[in-house]
Amino acid sequence: MNQVRSFVDLHCHTSASFDSLASPASVVRTAARRGLTHLAITDHDRIDGAVEARAAAPEGLTILVGEEIRTRDGDLIAVFLTEAVPPGLSAVETIAAVRAQGGLVGIPHPFDRFRGSLSKGEGLGDLEGLAATVDWVEAWNARLMVGDGNARAAALAAAAGVPGVAVSDAHTTLEVGIAYTAIGGDPSTADGLRAALRAGPELVIGRSSAYARLVTPVARTINRARGRGRVRPGTPA
């Protein structure tokens, strides 16, 4: 009997993020149309967009409620959350807070020089040691446009002994599913996703266009004018 295949994008943003204008409804429609079976909505330091996306998801598409969390050491991704994890904790404290909810943790774009990457954290210490405590590393992030950051991330995953995944890191509907991870089994639960990743993911890679990247600063300006800037430590999401 052939094992069921799932097509998962573990890093995607909606207009709940300070740097995206893509509504949760438009994101889930696009994901379903492009053949994804599972989509993690990982808005910056909040989960309300993910909850809205889950309610709007069409049949055949499972939304994983997640968050991209700005720690003191750099960004982390979490999925299977029931409440937002606040920004501003250390990476170790953030991982513990996610685990307390039964969630999984990934490291996004660890070597992207232009974003909040863990490799830039001055007080982090042993990046490989931290990577060994998470559930995946983004070995391919479609928004990494220059440099060897994806190759270094794949090497980090291998050295730490954790799965590498491919993600879109979409901030527009143009990018949803442009890179994703194909796995066997059902990743609709934390245990299911963990087992499927450990069994061996297939990375399906693509790259965002420069045009899609240019939308981001425009989105920041519009959202700031709407009073939806970045969530700051100590501020309710």
User: For residue 64, what are its two tokens?
Assistant: 């994983």
pLDDT greater than 60 at residue 237: no
Write down the residue that tokens 């052939």 correspond to.
Answer: 2
Summarize the confidence of residues 53-79 as an average pLDDT.
97
Summarize the confidence of residues 166-179 as an average pLDDT.
97
Domains, the chain, with CATH or none = 5-225 (3.20.20.140)
Overall residue count recorded for the chain in this entry = 237
Select the more confidently predicted residue: 120 or 78. 78
Predicted pLDDT at 209? 84
Predicted pLDDT at 37? 98
- Range with the poorest average pLDDT among 118-127, 200-209, 223-232: 118-127
Q: Minimal CA–CA distance to 168: which of 55, 22, 52?
A: 22
Predicted pLDDT at 121? 57
Predicted pLDDT at 126? 86
Give yes or no for a contact between 196 and 23, defined as CB atoms under 8 angstroms apart: no
pLDDT greater than 60 at residue 57: yes
Q: How far apart are CA 237 and CA 220, in angstroms?
A: 17
Q: Minimal CA–CA distance to 39: which of 145, 178, 224, 142?
A: 178
Amino acid at 231: V
Residue 106 β-bridge partners? 77, 136
Predicted pLDDT at 231? 85
Predicted pLDDT at 112? 86
**pLDDT averaged over the chain?**
92
Predicted pLDDT at 147? 84
Predicted pLDDT at 226? 84
pLDDT greater than 80 at residue 96: yes
Q: Which helix (H) or strand (E) holds 53?
A: helix 48-56
Q: How far apart are CA 138 and CA 218, in angstroms?
A: 26
List strands edge to edge, sheet with 38-41: 164-167, 136-141, 104-107, 74-79, 62-71, 38-41, 5-12, 180-184, 202-204
Tens of pLDDT along 104-161? 999 999 998 877 677 665 555 689 999 999 999 999 999 998 889 999 999 999 999 9
Write down the residue that tokens 């974003």 correspond to.
Answer: 115
Give yes or no for a contact between 74 and 119, defined as CB atoms under 8 angstroms apart: yes
pTM: 0.92
C-alpha dihedral sign at 219, 223, 224, 226:
positive
pLDDT greater than 90 at residue 4: no
Predicted pLDDT at 230? 83
User: For residue 94, what are its two tokens?
Assistant: 């953030």
Predicted pLDDT at 146? 81
Q: How confident is the model at residue 232 (pLDDT cuts 50, 70, 90)?
A: confident
- Range with the poorest average pLDDT among 23-27, 44-48, 119-123: 119-123
Amino acid at 23: S
Q: Which helix (H) or strand (E) holds 215?
A: helix 210-225
